[in-house]
Amino acid sequence: MIIEAAQRTNTVAEYYFSTKLREIEQLRRQGKKVLNLGIGNPDLMPSENVIQEIRNQSHLEGSNGYQSYTGLQELREAFAAWYQKYFSVKLNPNGEILPLMGSKEGIMHVSMAFLNPGDGVLVPNPGYPAYGAVTRLVGAQPMEYNLKLENGWLPDFNKLEEMDLTGVKLMWVNYPHMPTGTQATEELFGKLVDFAKRKSILICNDNPYSFILNDQPLSILSVEGAKDVAIELNSLSKSHNMAGFRIGMVAGDSEYLNHILKIKSNMDSGMYKPIQLAAVKALQNPPCWYDSINDEYKERRKLAASLFNSLGLEYDDKQAGLFLWGRIPFDFFDSYAFSDCLLKNYSLFITPGSIFGSNGSRYTRISLCSSREVFKEAISRINQIIELNKSEVKLCG
């Protein structure tokens, strides 16, 4: 006898990358050298002081015990200092910062803390798939708002005003934007805060990409009065090459965070102390450390752009963040067909934009989380085929 699963499991599918990684692994077992340029999994190392702190702390008695649900005081203070230094945002470490096991965990906690079944949630299209998936898992209703090239991949506030927002309680935003690489502006955040106040909506800005190929980190909490209607997620996964450490945070008014803590404290028992103390070291890194990481990403982005050029893709060279977003050739039906073509014919995987929403169907996303050698190999594979088919350049046939 098979026990029937909860109905909520019918509201979502398995995460796209979960299934794609299995497919790639199967191809590799068959002897194909698949180059994976699709997933934002940082391959660069954290700073040496981070690694050393884990070594030092893991040997100390008491380090292996349960920790506070609100994180170490040292970690909250380090996050507060980081926000003050780089975002000019003053946060009280005793109430306005809540460390998380990664910001993806925070998407679930925020949704469970504020959404009732049937509540409306504004989610970006294109945008991170977890926003819509978690919304459905908690029984709320995702309502897409369009982000389009002609509007600079920014919310169209005239269109938002025309929407029936009855019952809408939460709005997800994500700038610098994934997958398009659009940067935040003070004007954008000001408009969002004003919109949220007039519509009585809680804004949650998911902000993990501010330090990657971006000279002006911004936080929505820097807007006057933002804490009344906005909270912000952040993470060390991308900015500090600590994805597997699972260190993130949510910041905002203490009343909002207390509701989130009610959920969080019933779902985990704190983070490993040495990892929290290592995160403190990471947050104290000087600006030159970020510069060194970005120097490498700049070189990789040049190679990613070269690959896009070989593939005939159009892109904006002013993108921020860990990816490059480009428009696919029009002789492909959609981005899934384009991605499958590259995987089948060149053993090269890049992400179809369709997984981020219908407005991504003509786009694809390449990750900068591979070495320059891998990019050069991908470019070589594509150019060799083009050289062989000069009379009629076809990626797939």
Model confidence over 252-282: pLDDT tens digits?
999 999 999 999 999 988 899 999 999 999 9
Average pLDDT, the chain: 93
DSSP class of 65: S
Q: 45: pLDDT confidence band, cut at 50, 70 and 90?
A: very high
Catalogue all structural domains in the chain, each as residue range(s) with its CATH number.
7-45+288-388 (3.90.1150.10), 63-285 (3.40.640.10)
What distance in Å separates the CA atoms of residue 302 and residue 280, rounded to the nearest whole number? 32
- Tell me what the mean pLDDT of segment 3-14 comes to: 86
DSSP reduced 3-state for 19: helix
DSSP reduced 3-state for 176: coil
DSSP reduced 3-state for 111: helix
- What pLDDT score was predicted for residue 332? 85
Nearest to 161 by CA among 187, 199, 213, 206: 199
Angle formed at CA 97 by CA 91 and CA 101, multiple of 5 degrees: 150
Say what percent of the chain tops pLDDT 70: 97
DSSP reduced 3-state for 324: strand
pTM: 0.93
- Tell me what the mean pLDDT of segment 133-154 comes to: 96
**Phi, psi (5° rounding) for residue 119?**
-65, 145
| 3-state percent breakdown (helix, strand, coil) of the chain, nearest 5 | 45, 15, 40
Q: How remote is the C-alpha of 8 from its chain's centroid? A: 24
Angle formed at CA 247 by CA 130 and CA 24, multiple of 5 degrees: 50
3-state DSSP of 253-315: CHHHHHHHHHHHCCCCCCCCHHHHHHHHHHHCCCHHHHHHHHHHHHHHHHHHHHHHHHHCCEE
| pLDDT tens, residue by residue, 173-221 | 999 999 999 999 999 999 999 999 999 999 999 999 999 999 999 999 9
What distance in Å separates the CA atoms of residue 378 and residue 380, rounded to the nearest whole number? 5
